[in-house]
């Protein structure tokens, strides 16, 4: 039992090494929002589209966090800017979201 606990603890601690690049990550709790890109648009964004990927212990990952999926989910035809969000608790379950703002 002790070996299994040690193995799971190592996976949790090392699982962050394979995650998407972020400005910072917390070992216990991560809840961040950061920019990906922006355009030179004068108009205000009125629509928001989201897409996401979820991973469990860094072993299983599923979803589509592409900008294209977020654009389709939001019904966006012109992109204003793109952000991302990352939420994680002890690295057990981590969610990475792409958020597209546009019209």
45-95 pLDDT, tens digit per residue, is 999 999 999 999 989 999 999 999 999 999 999 999 999 999 999 889 999
Q: What is the pLDDT of residues 52-66, one digit of tens each?
A: 999 999 899 999 999
Structural domain boundaries, residue 95: 2-102
Smallest Cα–Cα separation from 100: which of 63, 46, 61? 46
Q: Which residues contact 74 (CB under 8 A, 6 or more apart)?
A: 47, 48, 49, 50, 100, 102
Structural domains counted in the chain: 1
Q: Give the DSSP H or E segment for 81.
A: strand 79-89
Q: Give the DSSP H or E segment for 46.
A: none
What is the reported pTM? 0.73
Whether the Cβ atoms of residue 83 and residue 102 lie closer than 8 Å to each other:
no
Q: What is the pLDDT of residues 1-14, one digit of tens each?
A: 676 656 666 555 55
> Quick one: pLDDT band at residue 17, thresholds 50, 70, 90?
very low
Whether the Cβ atoms of residue 80 and residue 41 lie closer than 8 Å to each other:
yes
């Amino acid at each position: 039992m002790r070996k299994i606990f040690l193995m799971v603890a190592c996976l949790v601690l090392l699982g962050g090494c394979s995650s998407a690049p972020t400005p910072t990550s917390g070992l216990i709790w991560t809840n961040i929002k950061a920019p990906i890109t922006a355009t030179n648009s004068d108009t205000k964004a009125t629509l928001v589209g989201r897409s996401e990927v979820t991973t469990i212990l860094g072993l299983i990952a599923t979803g589509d966090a592409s900008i294209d999926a977020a654009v389709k989910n939001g019904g966006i035809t012109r992109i204003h800017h793109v952000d991302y969000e990352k939420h994680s608790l002890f690295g057990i379950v981590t969610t990475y979201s792409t958020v597209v703002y546009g019209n």
